[in-house]
């Protein structure tokens, strides 16, 4: 249970409470120091621990931003966390800052580490995930192309069609027609 005093320390990033407790966020499975500059979590998702060891024993990972575990998380593990975050939130408005905030790191460091590990930028990965999901929706649903764009996080129809064509080589409509011919022709 989070006390009012602890919650105030978390909301105000109060460094005076560092070392007195750590807080963990169930939605991200990450624990932080009270002074962490990450976005304030939802109170119902927060648990408090006396020390980093207790938080890790409960299955939480240290925050990369505030280095709550005393050591950095390996880059490979952090990139996996970034990928999981994108897969869960691809339909939302995602910026590099939003991803970095959700994964407890700086945008610059996240971009550099992700590109070094995956050979593409985090936003290129977001686009790839969105278009893969759009392909599934084009094949499996009767949704309009515009509605599919919105469903995968791209509300501008022209931007969706341009990105789709760039990654798939054809427009969404042509992609759907070709898939339907393939299905009917079997």
Q: Which residues are catalytic?
A: 32
Q: How far apart are CA 15 and CA 9, in angstroms?
A: 8
- Cβ atoms of 9 and 34 within 8 Å: the answer is yes
CA dist 29 and 64 (Å) reads: 12
Q: Are strands 22-25 and 46-49 parallel, antiparallel or unpaired?
A: antiparallel
Per DSSP, what are the bridge partners of residue 48? 23
């Amino acid at each position: 249970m989070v006390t009012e005093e602890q919650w105030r320390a978390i909301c105000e990033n109060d460094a005076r409470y560092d070392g007195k407790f750590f807080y963990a966020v169930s939605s991200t499975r990450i624990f932080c120091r009270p002074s962490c500059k990450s976005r304030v979590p939802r109170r119902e998702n927060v648990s408090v621990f006396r020390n980093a060891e207790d938080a890790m024993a409960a299955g939480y990972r240290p925050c990369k931003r505030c280095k709550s575990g005393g050591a950095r998380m390996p880059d490979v593990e952090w990139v996996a966390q970034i990928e999981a975050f994108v897969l869960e939130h691809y339909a939302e408005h995602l910026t590099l800052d939003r991803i970095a905030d959700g994964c407890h790191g700086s945008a610059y460091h996240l971009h550099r580490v992700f590109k070094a590990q995956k050979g593409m930028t985090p936003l290129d990965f977001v686009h790839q995930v969105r278009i893969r999901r759009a392909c599934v929706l084009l094949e499996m649903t009767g949704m309009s192309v515009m509605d599919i764009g919105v469903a995968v996080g791209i509300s501008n129809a022209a931007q969706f069609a341009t990105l789709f064509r760039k990654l798939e080589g054809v427009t969404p409509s042509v992609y759907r027609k070709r898939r339907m011919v393939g299905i009917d022709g079997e």
